[in-house]
Amino acid sequence: MMQEKDEGSDARVIDLEPDSEFRFEVDFKTQIQIKILKGTAEIFGTELAEGVEYSFSGRKAAVYTWHGCSLEARGTFLVEYTANETPMTSYLNTHLAIQQLRSTAKASNELGPRVLVIGPHDVGKTSLCKIMASYAFRQGEKPLYVSLDTAEGSITMPGAVTATAISHLIDIEEGFGSSATTAASMGSTTMPLAYYYGYESPSENVKMYKLVVSRLARTVKSRLAADPESRTSGIIIDTSGLIDPIGYELIQHAIDEFSVNVVVVLGHERLYSDMTKIYKDQNNISIVKLNKSGGVVERDKQFKIQLQRSKIQEYFYGTSKCELSPYSMLVNFNDINVWRVGEAIAPSSALPIGMESKDNETEVVKVDSYDMCLHSIMAILNADDSEHDNKLLESSVVGFIYISDVNEDKKKMTVLSPSPGRLPRRHVLMGAFKWMET
């Protein structure tokens, strides 16, 4: 994707007092630059290096400083202002309390804290998770970062639930840098752990969502058991922001599956109060309430769609900082098995008594209409060729492909893949995500 540099917009120097931040928003079509001239500053917990110019596009974020700094900003911002009131001290204190739990875990070689961050949409959950992960990393910890937010796809692709070990600094410009860690290493052990759900909202297929979350939790736990470094650092879990009755059910499900012992409720009194009530008899679970930052911005539907698109684009093509060249290839219909999750076709009234139309919510059906595949994103499943149909959904994801063309006559599909050569596995799962290359 080409991004224009804005000419003619002069560089400005902005001085930040201790414990304040510079908040900004920049459009997807423009690029802005920020450079720290003096002092120290961080973006969502990751420190900016002095004198280095960072570029941003399609971002809403804040440069925060604990001790004061002076920065240079260049380019056209949609929004830019300085704020002296931030919840950063309370976020740091929460991190320090969690860090205390890690020390206790280390002393007895136990499992470190399992922290779940919940709250409505757009209250800063993902930002807080990044801050806590960065602070942990800066103190020598290696926590596992789990994202249960299928709309955002912060670690790999929208539609997936994922886990990755925080073993390096979160990139200032690219966040988790899905391009660098995912696409380039399809099938390798450094690919983040992912299970494919395939829809944006967990409420579209609750049963399947729970199934992939359970699978992810099981694998995360066994990874923790095998990795002494991560084990005592524990898990930080980001969630999707559903707080309706289905959301409550899913929060409790996640708490059970990941054996969560710290629940951080962000920006919602009622949710905090409800959680305190639900878990009042379980004194091994602490519920913590934090305020949302005044800087958090609501992202409209359009912004979220653009964010998803740029995530998909990034998966295949990388970013301007780390470009990738995906491979386009022809695949015979016979060499690939495309599955999707069955939907209730018949209304309950048309079914035999006792059978519910929801029964196939977690059953896969083979996709024979190849036209349906056109422009779809598909997850390559880590399943043997002979794998039983019903086990497929429990398979983790090896990588993702995109179907750019379908030729029914020749019985071939054109597939975009991050790796060359044959597809590593033949079973692929199709979700609801479509994409058009731009």
Please tell me the distance from the alpha carbon of residue 414 to that of residue 407, in angstroms, as a whole number. Answer: 8
Query: Pattern of binders to ligand ADP over 360-379, x per CB under 6 A?
Result: --------------------
HSE-up (13 A, CA, CB side) for residue 273: 3
The residue (of 23 and 221) whose beta carbon lies closer to ligand ADP is 23
Residues numbered 120-139 forming contacts with ligand ADP, rule: CB under 6 A: 121-127
Sole window of 6-14, 117-125, 324-332, 411-419 interacting with Mg ion (rule: CB under 5 A): 117-125
Q: Is 319 in the site for ligand ADP (CB under 6 A)?
A: no
- Contacts with 415 (C-beta within 8 Å, 6 or more apart), sequence order: 328, 329, 330, 331, 401, 402, 403, 404, 423
The residue (of 272 and 339) whose beta carbon lies closer to ligand ADP is 272
Q: Is 126 in the site for Mg ion (CB under 5 A)?
A: yes
- Six token digits for residue 7: 């000419």
Q: How many residues sit close enough to ligand ADP to count as binding (CB under 6 A)?
A: 19
Q: Is 166 in the site for ligand ADP (CB under 6 A)?
A: no
Among 16, 20, 23, 364, binds ligand ADP (CB under 6 A): 23
The residue (of 126 and 293) whose beta carbon lies closer to Mg ion is 126
Sole window of 96-104, 135-143, 217-225, 291-299 interacting with ligand ADP (rule: CB under 6 A): 291-299
Q: Which does 198 bind (CB under 5 to 8 A by kind): Mg ion, ligand ADP, none?
A: none
The residue (of 126 and 164) whose beta carbon lies closer to Mg ion is 126
The residue (of 61 and 133) whose beta carbon lies closer to ligand ADP is 61
Beta-strand pair 364-366/397-407: unpaired
Amino acid type, 430: M
Q: Is 358 left (phi over 0), alpha (psi -120 to 50) or beta?
A: alpha
Query: Closest separation between CB of residue 129 and ligand ADP, Å?
Result: 8
CB atoms within 10 A of CB 363: 15
Among 60, 95, 114, 311, binds ligand ADP (CB under 6 A): 60
Query: Closest separation between CB of residue 37 and Mg ion, Å?
Result: 31
Asked if residue 293 lies in contact with residue 86, where contact means CB atoms within 8 angstroms, the answer is: yes
- Six token digits for residue 120: 């409505």
Q: Is 293 in the site for ligand ADP (CB under 6 A)?
A: yes
Of all residues in the shown chain, the one whose CB is closest to ligand ADP is 295
Sole window of 6-14, 26-34, 60-68, 323-331 interacting with ligand ADP (rule: CB under 6 A): 60-68
Residues numbered 216-255 forming contacts with ligand ADP, rule: CB under 6 A: 241
Query: Pattern of binders to ligand ADP over 84-123, x per CB under 6 A?
Result: -----------------------------------x-xxx
The residue (of 241 and 326) whose beta carbon lies closer to ligand ADP is 241
Q: Is 295 in the site for ligand ADP (CB under 6 A)?
A: yes
Query: Closest separation between CB of residue 52 and ligand ADP, Å?
Result: 20
Catalogue the E-assigned strands of 130-224. Answer: 144-147, 160-165, 193-196
Query: Closest separation between CB of residue 313 and Mg ion, Å?
Result: 19
- Contacts with 61 (C-beta within 8 Å, 6 or more apart), sequence order: 23, 24, 43, 44
Q: What is the DSSP letter of 50?
A: B
**Look-up: residue for tokens 């974020």?**
61
Burial class (CB in 10 A: 0-12, 13-18, 19+), 1: middle
Query: Closest separation between CB of residue 363 and ligand ADP, Å?
Result: 32
- Six token digits for residue 240: 């999707």
Among 62, 193, 211, 285, binds ligand ADP (CB under 6 A): 62
- Six token digits for residue 314: 């990034």
Buried b (16+ CB within 10 A) or exposed e, 378-416: bbbbbbeeebeeeebbbbbbbbbbbbbebeeeeebbebb
Q: CA 436 → CA 52, 306, 403, 405, 433, distances in Å? A: 35, 12, 10, 11, 10
The residue (of 242 and 260) whose beta carbon lies closer to ligand ADP is 242
The residue (of 295 and 318) whose beta carbon lies closer to ligand ADP is 295
Q: Is 30 in the site for Mg ion (CB under 5 A)?
A: no
Gyration radius from the chain CA atoms:
22
Asked if residue 63 lies in contact with residue 22, where contact means CB atoms within 8 angstroms, the answer is: yes
The residue (of 294 and 424) whose beta carbon lies closer to ligand ADP is 294
Name the site residues for Mg ion (rule: CB under 5 A). 125-126
Residues in contact with ligand ADP by the rule CB under 6 A: 21, 23, 60-62, 119, 121-127, 241, 293, 295-297, 299
